[in-house]
Amino acid sequence: MKTSAFSLEGVLSVSAALEAGRREVFEILIDHDKRFDQRLDKLRLRAKQARVNLKYVPSTEIEDYATGNSHGGVIALAGARRFECITDLIPPDKPAFIAMLDGIEDPYNFGFAVRALYAAGVDGLILRKRNWTSASAIVGRSSAGASELMPIALGESAMEAADFFRQRGLVVATAAKSSTSVSLFEAELRQPLFVVLGGERRGVTRSFQRQADLLLEIPYGRPFGQSLGTVSAVSILAYEVMRQRRHAGGGADE
C-alpha cells in the first residue's frame, strides 16, 4: 500500500471522494465488525467500480487513523486533493456564483460553511494557498463530503481573485456593515457574483471592502449589536442568492 499523508473519515466523505475523483484513494479500511452491514453496500459497490481495495480491520486500527468518533468504522487512505483552474469555475451557461472563504480558522466551521455553499448551488470556491487540506478528515466529516464534491481553485489573495473575476464580468461582493451597505434581501443577486466571506475573528479587510462593488448587510428582526456566526451568515447569503435565481422571472424581492 502506498504511504498516504491524508485520511478521510466516514461513509459520506469517502463516498464523495470516490464520486468526485479529485484525489487518489489508495485503500478503504472498514471495521471488521461491520463487514455484514448492509448500509455499507453502496460504498462497497462504488469502491469496486473505482477499483479501490477494501480491507476489514480491527476497530483499533481504525482508531489509529481517526481524528474523531463519528467515522462510523470507515476510513480511507488517500492522496492530496487536486484543484481546478480558476477559469474553470465559471459556468458557461448561467450567471456565475463563486465564493471565497477567507480567514475562517476553525476546520469544523469551515466544513459547515462549505456544506452550506455546496447545498445552495455555488459553482465553485476559492481558497488561499494556505488551506484546509491538511485537515481533510475534519473538513470532510463536517461538510458531509461537500468539500470533496465542491470545485475548488487556489488563489494568492482575495484582491487577486476579485480582480480576476471582475475582469470576466462578475460583480465583487462581500458582507459588511457600512453606510453604503445594501440589505441582502434588497440587493440584485441574479447577476454574476464573486462573494468573499470572512471568518468571525479577522473577517474581510477594510481595504477589500473599499474596493468591492457591492456590500451586503444581513438585516436583523430586532436591535442586536452582535454579528452572526460565520456559518449562519454564509448560509443565509448563499440561500438568498439561490432564492432570487429560482425566481429569475420576477423582482429580487420575490
* CATH number for the segment(s) 86-246: 3.40.1280.10
CATH topology of 6-78 equal to that of 86-246?
no
Q: Where are the domains of the chain?
A: 6-78, 86-246
Q: What are the strands of the beta sheet with 97-102, ordered from one edge?
A: 152-155, 124-128, 97-102, 193-198, 171-175, 214-217, 182-183
* CATH number for the segment(s) 6-78: 3.30.1330.30
Largest CA distance in the chain: 61
What is the per-residue pLDDT for 218?
94
Average of per-residue pLDDT across 42-65: 93
pLDDT band of residue 72 (cuts 50, 70, 90) is confident
pLDDT > 90: percent of the chain: 70
Q: For residue range 209-247, list pLDDT tens digits in order.
A: 889 999 999 999 999 988 889 999 999 999 999 999 998
What is the per-residue pLDDT for 201?
62
Q: For residue range 106-133, list pLDDT tens digits in order.
A: 899 999 999 999 999 999 999 987 656 6
Distance (Å, rounded) from C-alpha 96 to C-alpha 90? 6
